Amino acid sequence: MEVFKNVLCPFCGCCCDDLEVEVDSNRIINVKNACALGRGKFLSIGEHRLLKPLVKVDGELVETNLEEAVEKTVEMIKNSSYPVFYGFGCTSCEAIKLCLEIADISGGLADNISVVCHGPTILGLQDMGIPSATLGQIRHRADLIVYWGCNPVEAHPRHMIRYGPLSNGRFITGRKGRRVVVVDVRKTSTAAMADVFVQVKPNSDFEVLTALRALVNDLDLEVEEVGGVPVAKLEELADMMVDAKFGALFFGLGLTMSYGKEHNVEAAIALVRDLNKKTKFVMIPMRGHFNVTGANEVFAWQTGYPFCVDFSMGYPRYNPGETSAIDVMARGEFDLLFVVGADPCSHLPHYVVEKLKNVKLVVLDPSITPTVKMADIAIPVAYVGIEASGTAYRMDGVPLQLRKLVDPPPGILSDVDVLNRIVRRLK
Amino acid sequence: MVNLVKMILVSGRSLEQGLGKEEGKFSKRYIDATTVCQLDPEDMSKLSISEGESLRISSQHGSIIVKAVKSKHAPHPGVIFMAYGPWVNTLTSPETHGTGMPSFKGLEVEVEPVKTAERP
């Protein structure tokens, strides 16, 4: 039996890098230090596995070989007027770079899953900038941690213990000495652990954030409540924020997916900017998939833009709303969807998924998903971070190394190897 | 008895949905996690619906029948919660308002009990 130490977890944006994975005869038999979600991923790689390339013939998916699947994929890309390349939250930076090369060659659209998670965060920070930090700085120094519109207990289960209020920092140790605030529309499992819970009405975050800005700037509010929150409660929260020596605001999709979207994020950034006139305050978006941050990084360094990149004019163009995957697909302005490291049929609005009936669909995935079932071509690939190595970016923008611990099933290549074959044939 | 109530739908991650995802998108665990709707107990009384009974949720974009469960995160009157997945996305608007992002949270929906043999 071999024990791999300091393994990076390829589940959520926490990218915990202290896992111990026990491997015996090319099989993972135990995982230590992981949360239930990470452990579940490592121990389930043999389940619901896509083991052979599939192509659709007369409406039915039939097995084929890799060469034929790649050849047919290349034909589809060459014959496409406007292909959309989408996904990338669950693959390596190296694979994302190759997909962007294919999108460039084919004059298509490249977009990543941040368009349906923290896309509005990107729009907000492009307008405002973002006062941020690494998770390590927060662990060592933060005496006030605010979780706004996120529920790490269920979505990022080790966030609180590794980087948040339960972590052991150099200057502050554990829960003692730290105060925790949760702002949400429901009293979530995370809220149950907070010192202060602020329950806002749905779609009211912008108003509440703006009211907090007023209080932080010593202005009076001439109302009894804002967004369902009594002003006295907001005054208490504003005082806590100003009195903190080092505050950290972690925010989630409660801000980006509800009414206001990027304006909610802009209001949060403005609040943190105002707080920095009086104390030290930073903010970090709670990124969901383990390399969705990496997707933004690779897109930005390859094209100049972090998502929603259109190559149809022969150079990168960026205009979310026009050049975003959801909008392009909803308008029916595409004839091929090429997916890597995502399952759009489960996670996009049904209206958009219906549009896929009229176009070609190619997917690279390790497992059988609804997108695989709907595909014209499905190519099995190795699990990145378990069966293939690569680079991922943690939610705070720190790049980390994904490792190969076991071999994939026979005949199955990594995303990078499959994409390289496609690139070679396209050139 | 109220037959149809306007509510706000919030979709999001849940631990069970995450664990089910790793067991497979066609696993019982994933399907169970993504076909339940969490309601405030007062709203369940208003709808005359009990734990485990079916309810229809409708938006401008579609309609689904899912199982009702009592929320562990109440009170949140007028707000229902479902885990991310294909079912809740039947209701989601594709309109992005120029941002690229559909509205997965804070969606206006109508909720009504289903007393027939219809199942999720």
Summarised one tens digit per residue, pLDDT across range A53-103 is 999 999 999 999 999 999 999 999 999 999 999 999 999 999 999 999 999
Q: For residue A166, give the CATH number of its domain.
A: 3.40.228.10
Q: Most B CBs within 10 Å: which of A9, A12, A154, A255, as the mutation test of the B interface?
A: A154
Interface list for A 404-423 with B (CB within 8 A): none
Does B110 map to a domain? yes
Per-residue pLDDT at B1:
55
Q: Is residue A42 within 8 Å of residue A386, measured between CB atoms?
A: yes
B19 touches chain A (CB under 8 A): yes
For residue A228, pLDDT over 90 is answered with yes
User: Based on the domain organization, do A134 and A189 belong to the same domain?
Assistant: yes
Over the stretch A304-326, which tens digit does the pLDDT of each residue have?
999 999 999 999 999 999 999 99
A350 touches chain B (CB under 8 A): yes
**Domain coverage including residue A379:** 54-116+290-426
Does A409 map to a domain? yes
Which residue is closest to B19 within chain A, CA to CA? Answer: A37
Average pLDDT for residues A296-301, to the nearest whole number? Answer: 98
Q: How many CB atoms lie within 10 A of CB B65?
A: 17
Over the stretch A8-56, which tens digit does the pLDDT of each residue have?
999 999 999 999 999 999 999 999 999 999 999 999 999 899 999 999 9
Chain B contacts of A90, Cβ < 8 Å?
none
Average pLDDT for residues A386-400, to the nearest whole number? Answer: 98
Does B42 map to a domain? yes
Per-residue pLDDT at B4:
86
**Structure token digits, residue A147:** 């979780």
User: Based on the domain organization, do A165 and A267 belong to the same domain?
Assistant: yes
User: Based on the domain organization, do A167 and A58 belong to the same domain?
Assistant: no
Does B91 map to a domain? yes
Tell me how many residue pairs between chain A and chain B have CB atoms under 8 A apart.
160
**Domain coverage including residue B35:** 5-114
Per-residue pLDDT at A196:
97
Per-residue pLDDT at A397:
97
**Structure token digits, residue A378:** 């499905």
Distance CA A169, CA A243 (A): 20
User: Based on the domain organization, do A132 and A275 belong to the same domain?
Assistant: yes
Does B71 map to a domain? yes
Q: For residue B67, give the CATH number of its domain.
A: 2.40.40.20
User: Based on the domain organization, do A356 and A253 belong to the same domain?
Assistant: no
**What is the tally of structural domains in chain B?**
1
Q: How many CB atoms lie within 10 A of CB A45?
A: 21
B35 touches chain A (CB under 8 A): no
**What is the tally of structural domains in chain A?**
3
Instruction: Read off the pLDDT band of B92 (50, 70, 90).
Output: very high
User: Based on the domain organization, do A187 and A174 belong to the same domain?
Assistant: yes
User: Based on the domain organization, do A30 and A17 belong to the same domain?
Assistant: yes
Q: Is residue A7 within 8 Å of residue A33, measured between CB atoms?
A: no
Does A337 map to a domain? yes
Average pLDDT for residues A347-376, to the nearest whole number? Answer: 97
Chain A contacts of B106, Cβ < 8 Å?
202-203, 257-259
Task: Determine the distance in angstroms separating the CA of A171 from the nearest CA of chain B, rounded to an integer.
Answer: 32
Q: Where are the alpha helices (DSSP H) in A199-261?
A: 205-216, 231-243, 253-256
Does A49 map to a domain? no
Using CA atoms of A409, A410, A415, A421 in order, give the dihedral in degrees to the nearest 10: -170
- The residue assigned the tokens 């907070």 is A194
Instruction: Read off the pLDDT band of B120 (50, 70, 90).
Output: low
Average pLDDT for residues A364-390, to the nearest whole number? Answer: 98
- The residue assigned the tokens 């926490």 is A14
Q: Could A320 and B98 be called an inter-chain contact, meaning their C-beta atoms sit closer than 8 Å?
A: yes
Contacts of A176 (CB under 8 A, 6+ apart): none
Domain final position from A232, A252, A285: A285
User: Based on the domain organization, do A70 and A130 belong to the same domain?
Assistant: no
Interface list for A 369-398 with B (CB within 8 A): 369-370
- Write the residue in A261, A353, A370 that is nearest to B101 by C-beta: A261
**Beta-bridge partner residues of A196:** A181
Buried-exposed string A90-128: b where 16+ CB fall within 10 A, e elsewhere: bbbbbbbbbbbbbbbebebbbbbbbbbbbbbbbbbbeeb
**Structure token digits, residue A261:** 């979207």
Does B119 map to a domain? no
Q: Most A CBs within 10 Å: which of B26, B79, B80, B96, as the mutation test of the A interface?
A: B96
Which residue is closest to A200 within chain B, CA to CA? Answer: B76
- The residue assigned the tokens 């833009």 is A305
User: Based on the domain organization, do A11 and A133 belong to the same domain?
Assistant: no
- Write the residue in A111, A324, A350 that is nearest to B89 by C-beta: A350
Domain final position from A265, A285, A305: A285
- Write the residue in B27, B62, B99 that is nearest to A261 by C-beta: B99
Average pLDDT for residues B48-68, to the nearest whole number? Answer: 96
Distance CA B68, CA B52 (A): 5
Per-residue pLDDT at A174:
87
Distance CA A256, CA A275 (A): 21
Contacts of B98 (CB under 8 A, 6+ apart): A320, A321
B76 touches chain A (CB under 8 A): yes
User: Based on the domain organization, do A151 and A100 belong to the same domain?
Assistant: no
For residue A354, pLDDT over 80 is answered with yes
Distance CA A198, CA A219 (A): 20
Domain final position from A285, A318, A343: A285
Does A345 map to a domain? yes
Q: What global pTM score does this model have?
A: 0.96
Residue A5: exposure state from Cβ atoms within 10 A (0-12, 13-18, ≥19): exposed
Per-residue pLDDT at A343:
97
**DSSP state string for A90-131:** TS-HHHHHHHHHHHHHHT-EEEEGGGGTTHHHHHHHHHH---
User: Based on the domain organization, do A244 and A322 belong to the same domain?
Assistant: no
A271 touches chain B (CB under 8 A): no
Does B70 map to a domain? yes
Interface list for A 38-77 with B (CB within 8 A): 40-41, 44, 47-48
Q: Could A349 and B10 be called an inter-chain contact, meaning their C-beta atoms sit closer than 8 Å?
A: no
User: Based on the domain organization, do A265 and A409 belong to the same domain?
Assistant: no
